[in-house]
Structure 1
Amino acid sequence: MSTFANEYTTRDGLDLARLLYSREVSPRELMEFAIAAAEAVNPRFNAFCFPRHEEALEESARSTLRGTFGALPFVFKDSGLAAAGHRGSIGSRLFTGTLSSVDSTLAARFRDDGFISFGRTTVPEMCMAPTTEALQNGGPTRNPWDPTRSAGGSSGGAAVAVATGVVPIAHGSDGGGSIRIPAACCGIYGLKTSRGLVPHGPAKGEGWGGLAVHGVLTRTVRDSAAALDGIAGMEAGAPYASPVKPDSYLARIDEEFDRPLRVAKWTRGWDDIEIAPDCLEALGVAERALKSLGHQVVEAPLPPLDFSGFVDALIDVLCANAATSVNDLLAANPRVDMREALEPAILDAWELGNELTATKYVAAINTFHRVGRILDSYMQTYDFVLSPTLTRPPAELGEFSMACDFRSLRRRVANYTLSLALINASGQPAASLPVFRNPAGLPVGVQLVGRFGSDAEVLKLSAHLERETRWADLQFVNSVTQDRCGERRRETGVAEASSGG
């Protein structure tokens, strides 16, 4: 039997919630472990920002257990999601210290389901890169498996927080792969939900022309399913209808499929973009697991779409959003020198966005909608699509530096992330599955894409593959975090608890 302090970093959220409800551990004790773990991790990996440790300790001490998770330590991504009492920056020196005075709908749902946040996690500037290396963060967010490589982006800090065991569940968002990229880089599970399923309001109705969604990153599928039970569902006044929600996503993941599934496998890239052998090997692991489960996997042609044209449309929409955000701040603070505060690529995006015509923006949105129709038609032949999450293993730090023009940056991003933003355009659910480690020991993810609104089925098949590939055996074990939690246990005298699931 190991001490609870050492087990804390490997237990999932539902197991910790069970301990809370059975009174084997208190909310304050859990928060102390989480903060101790964050303090141990951050000097090495730089994943946390805008801490509110004292406030979180006080909140946990007076909290009553509620929702699925009771009083579970949690962190919000520094992506601008309003959460009362939380400062943020969207990864930018221009926006640093922005304070939320009220909760967004999603933040309120997280609180109601038993999450207590003790700070935010790092992002690239304005969440517009596949790595997390914003100057605002004082250095890059590093990959736990290899600190010379990126943890991914834009939910890079959130992925590190989960992979290293600081929290079992962390808030993330995905506008072009920003949950799936860091999940693949850090060897954890990341689900991008269907458009409209998780609320954006009330201050906003959508992000990036309908591409962006909110969600969580986790180590286990069941934690993602349980979290979605608490946060998903219709929001009054939302511009997109929410897909039909089952009574419980968590209850669905242990069900069997009523027939063998037909799964399309993508092994090529549009415009002859190369896919690394490690990523194809990971795809093979998932394919063999699906076949052993009785499903059919077929080598399928790519959907017939203009990939380069889509990338250009994505760049236009990102530039328009960058310009809007910066201009809103300048209207309130006209003396701010944004040319000194913004990194070169984002400054370029701001300038391009200010030059963008209304007709070009509408054309970009129409391109998104066209991609959605093409992919929806394609999916009528298949139940799921299986593809590499990224075209190669985690990028080296500095490879996607913001010290360049925005268009060239985003075109290089498209070669790295390939199909991810396309799935944002179509609104389909998709998850990155941590099924493989390459010979260098780096995680390599595989993407599972479902039909629009089939989030329950994506979670269910993910859970089946989780068991079949035994990906829990491949996850990161952080002895530094466990040692620091052990010190916290000795300081507080927390009792041992028996091992859970």
Structure 2
Amino acid sequence: MRPADYSRLDGLALASLLRKGETSAFELMTIAVQLARERAMPLNALCYQRFEEALEMARTAQLVGPFGGLPFLLKDSGLASRRLSSSMGSRMFRDTRFSFDSTLVERFEAAGFISFARTTVPELCMAPTTEAVANGGPTLNPWDPARSPGGSSGGSAVAVALGVVPIAHGSDGGGSIRIPASCCGVFGLKPSRGLLPMGPARGEGWGGLATDGVITRTVRDTAAVLDAIAGADPGAPYAAPRMPESFLAGLDKPFDRPLRVAKWVSTWNDIPLDADCLAAVESAERLLIRNGHQVVEISPPDIDFDGFANALIDVIAANAVVSIETAAVGRPSEQWRGLLEPAILGAYHYGKTLRATDYISAIACFQQISREMERYMQGFDLLLTPTLTQLPVTLGTLSMNDDFRSFRLKGARYTMFLAIINASGQPAANVPLYWNQQGIPVGIQLVGRFGDEDTILRASAELERSSPWIGLYARLRVGG
């Protein structure tokens, strides 16, 4: 198989060739490693590479699960893996090792994935860009290297957009799957709260906002991955939402009635929307209507956006304190304070001032938004919004050299439609339907009712059939 042929195929297509004996896990891993070196590493998208080990694993791999023997990448988010160390994009956490595999890593491996590296993130995954000092500089957007690929799953989105792998791990606590998926022109679904396991060492992340997931080249790959890895693990604090028998099997089922889709193109606090973001929504609306659905423009619910942004700051800062103090045990402060970027050190200092009542109030804010969004979605199957309020920002626009609060508030304006959905726990996806005249991808977000990934995936698959995006990746191909 040539690298160009590998890059054109999604995960399920490659897995089919593996099962038929038309390729081998070793051949695919050889190509993936070659492309990682040629494409992903020049854009600073990978860390903790285990290329030679992965090649040996692929040489003797058993074709287990739906993706038996497929090359895969784990986000450097601290998801526990005995094979791959982690830094979470921080010099303070460099080379963190694990004595166990997280439940999700076990499920990825049972699905047949072979992880051969981690993907780059901002420090502690706390930014909508990927510019960690620990990684030696920013991760670059493959469509325009002067722009950010988004964050915090920036390296994963870059690797998928470049065809290095068809599927990569991501996580999302405030848009961290959907932001880079939009910036890099790929599909990224944030699942409902509780759908994917977080154990055995963790019960929740960021007060219930965070979840894991994947970034993919096609909708069907995401559906097939969910079939393989979804479901709560023993002792999980949240029950997994009810699932269909198969997300993948449902993709080809026609809807028995037109969907009713709410559209947001107005903002809280009159935050401006870039014309290309509005054009992306209008393009998606036309496709939805052409497919027989109804789109109704309505205003966002009456949510105190500033209050929510401040609640999110409090929860992130509190989590920063816990993470940093855990790593700092037994280390004098002068040994580790200089290892943190200014905004993260600011988060630590601010977090130390928080009271228990501040944290409880922030969680109550999230829970109120969850109730508000449930009421708001009554009568609608989906919500259509821009993914971001502007084009992928240029490198350095959202800098960790700012003070923590300013940094987070700037990011909140950029990602205005995203973290609200983490608070509500609903599923949401970036769908890559639109590229502007300069060739920059501009995503749209589809939000479903809690526990209804199925409708998002089926609608996204319809849109993919109406306006296929996989061919647009061809301009990224180099060599092969």
The answer to whether TM tops 0.5 is: yes
C-alpha deviations, 1:168-191, integer Å up to 9, x for none?
000000000000000000000000
- Structure 2 unmatched runs, 5+: none
Residue 104 of structure 1 corresponds to 102
Q: CA deviation at 1:332?
A: 4.8
Give the Cα–Cα distance (whole angstroms) in 2 for the partners of residues 19 and 95 of structure 1.
40
Equivalent residue for 1:132, pick from 125, 130, 133:
130
Equivalent residue for 1:325, pick from 323, 326, 332:
323
Residue 429 of structure 1 corresponds to 427
Give the Cα–Cα distance (whole angstroms) in 2 for the partners of residues 12 and 285 of structure 1.
25
- Whether contact under 8 Å (2:143, 2:476) holds in the other structure is no
Q: CA deviation at 1:101?
A: 2.4
- Whether contact under 8 Å (1:291, 1:297) holds in the other structure is yes
Mapping of residues 228-377 of structure 1, within 5 Å: 228-334=226-332, 337-377=335-375
- Residue 220 of structure 2 aligns to which amino acid in structure 1? R
Residue 113 of structure 2 corresponds to 115
Residue 467 of structure 1 corresponds to 465
Residue 192 of structure 1 corresponds to 190
Give the Cα–Cα distance (whole angstroms) in 1 for the partners of residues 260 and 243 of structure 2.
23
Q: Which moved more, 1:41-50 or 1:249-258?
A: 41-50
Residue 17 of structure 1 corresponds to 15
Give the Cα–Cα distance (whole angstroms) in 2 for the partners of residues 390 and 290 of structure 1.
20
C-alpha deviations, 1:218-271, integer Å up to 9, x for none?
010000000111110121100000001211110011111111111001001101
SS at match of 1:98: coil
Residue 397 of structure 2 corresponds to 399
- Whether contact under 8 Å (1:196, 1:242) holds in the other structure is yes
- Residue 439 of structure 2 aligns to which amino acid in structure 1? G
Give the Cα–Cα distance (whole angstroms) in 1 for the partners of residues 138 and 474 of structure 2.
20
Mapping of residues 425-464 of structure 1, within 5 Å: 425-464=423-462
Q: CA deviation at 1:478?
A: 2.9
Give the Cα–Cα distance (whole angstroms) in 1 for the partners of residues 258 and 477 of structure 2.
42
Please report the TM-score for the alignment, with normalisation by the length of structure 1.
0.94
Q: Relative contact order: is structure 1 or structure 2 higher (C-alpha 8 Å, sep ≥ 6)?
A: 1
Residue 73 of structure 1 corresponds to 71
C-alpha deviations, 1:392-411, integer Å up to 9, x for none?
11110000110011110111
Give the Cα–Cα distance (whole angstroms) in 2 for the partners of residues 43 and 125 of structure 1.
19
Give the Cα–Cα distance (whole angstroms) in 2 for the partners of residues 253 and 338 of structure 1.
50
- Structure 1 unmatched runs, 5+: 487-501
Equivalent residue for 1:45, pick from 43, 46, 65:
43
Q: CA deviation at 1:469?
A: 1.8
Give the Cα–Cα distance (whole angstroms) in 1 for the partners of residues 331 and 79 of structure 2.
21
Residue 210 of structure 1 corresponds to 208
- Residue 391 of structure 1 aligns to which amino acid in structure 2? T
Give the Cα–Cα distance (whole angstroms) in 2 for the partners of residues 325 and 414 of structure 1.
22
Root mean square deviation of aligned Cα:
1.0
SS at match of 1:467: helix
- Whether contact under 8 Å (1:183, 1:189) holds in the other structure is yes
C-alpha deviations, 1:348-383, integer Å up to 9, x for none?
001111111111000000000001000010001211
Give the Cα–Cα distance (whole angstroms) in 1 for the partners of residues 175 and 130 of structure 2.
13
Residue 181 of structure 2 corresponds to 183
- Residue 162 of structure 1 aligns to which amino acid in structure 2? V
Q: CA deviation at 1:335?
A: 6.3
Residue 414 of structure 2 corresponds to 416
- Whether contact under 8 Å (2:162, 2:477) holds in the other structure is no
Q: Which moved more, 1:466-475 or 1:345-354?
A: 466-475
- Whether contact under 8 Å (2:40, 2:158) holds in the other structure is no
Give the Cα–Cα distance (whole angstroms) in 1 for the partners of residues 359 and 81 of structure 2.
30
Q: CA deviation at 1:334?
A: 4.4
SS at match of 1:244: coil
Give the Cα–Cα distance (whole angstroms) in 2 for the partners of residues 457 and 384 of structure 1.
8
- Whether contact under 8 Å (1:188, 1:475) holds in the other structure is no
Give the Cα–Cα distance (whole angstroms) in 2 for the partners of residues 235 and 129 of structure 1.
28
Q: 1:164 to 1:216 in 2, by over 3 A?
A: same
SS at match of 1:150: coil
Q: CA deviation at 1:336?
A: 6.5
Q: CA deviation at 1:440?
A: 1.0
Please report the TM-score for the alignment, with normalisation by the length of structure 2.
0.99
SS at match of 2:181: helix
- Residue 217 of structure 1 aligns to which amino acid in structure 2? I
- Residue 154 of structure 1 aligns to which amino acid in structure 2? S
- Matched residue pairs, number? 480
Give the Cα–Cα distance (whole angstroms) in 2 for the partners of residues 182 and 275 of structure 1.
18
Give the Cα–Cα distance (whole angstroms) in 1 for the partners of residues 251 and 225 of structure 2.
13
